[in-house]
Amino acid sequence: MENVKIELLNEGEDLKKVKKLINKFQEKNNLNFKITILIDWNTKNVGYFFYGERKKKIYVNPKECEFNEKTFGYTDDYSMSGTLIHEFAHCLDEMYEIHGEYISYVQQNGRLILNKYVRESDLGEEVAELVCLYINNPYFLKLIDPDRYKWIKNFFKTPTTCSLKKFLKIREDWSNSIKKLCWKEWGIKTLKQNIYFGRRFYIVKDKKS
C-alpha cells in the first residue's frame, strides 16, 4: 500500500527515491499515514514541512537544491532527495516527540555537529539531520557515533540496510569532492572494501542545550 502522494506530472528519479524510502519506512514501522510531496518554486528555503493531524506535507524548492555534487547520504546533503527526507524527519520528530527526549540526551552527551547548518541552528534541526542520516545512510551514522545511532534506533527502524556493503554502495555515488570531505571532516575513507579512520572531533559539549 502506498501512502505517499506527489502532486507533479513527472516524479523524476529523486522523487521516486523519496517515495520508496518513505513507503518502506512506514512498512518497517507498521505505520499508515498519508503524506504529500509538493514543489514550491517561490520559497527562499530549500524545503519546509507542514505537520497536521490529518494532513502532512513536505515541500522542496528544486532551485535551491544541489545537483552538481552527488551528496545523498552524506552529513551535508542538499540534494532534492536529502532535502525531502530532512523535512520528513521533522514530521517524524513531531510524531515521536524526539526533540524533547533529545534535549536530555544532549545534556549528558553533547551535540553531534553533522554540518554547518546544524552548528548554526537549534536542536530541532539537529534532530532532523540526525534522523535524516539514520534513514538515508544508517551505517555512516553508526560509524560517526554508534551510541547516538543506538539511541535513534529506539524510536523506529530505518528503511535502509545498516551494513558496510550498503554504505560502500551509497559512497560510490558521492562526488570525489564529497569523498575527500568525508576524510577531512570525519576521518573516514575506504580502500579495497576496508574502512580507515583518522582523528575526529565532532561532539560539542554545551551545558545550555
- The C-alpha atoms of residue 176 and residue 52 are separated, in whole angstroms, by 40
202 three-class SS: coil
Q: Classify residue 209: in a domain, yes or no.
A: no
- The answer to the question of residue 20 being in a domain is yes
Using an 8 Å Cβ cutoff, are 58 and 47 in contact? yes
Q: What is the pLDDT of residue 10?
A: 52
Query: In sequence order, what E strands does 29-133 have?
Result: 35-39, 47-51, 56-60, 111-112
Residue 117 in domain: yes
Determine how β-strand 4-6 pairs with β-strand 47-51: unpaired
Contact (CB, 8 A) for 158 and 133: no
- What is the number of domains present in the chain? 1
Domain CATH for 119: 3.40.390
Q: Which amino acid is at 169?
A: K
Amino acid residing at 72: F
Cα separation, 88 vs 169, in Å, equals 23
Report which of residues 206 and 101 the model is more confident about. 101
For the whole prediction, is pTM greater than 0.75?
A: yes
Q: What is the pLDDT of residues 59-98, one digit of tens each?
A: 999 999 988 889 999 999 999 999 999 999 999 999 999 9
33, part of any domain: yes
Q: Which residue has the cell 519506512?
A: 25
Name the residue type at position 68: N
Q: Which domain holds residue 153?
A: 4-204
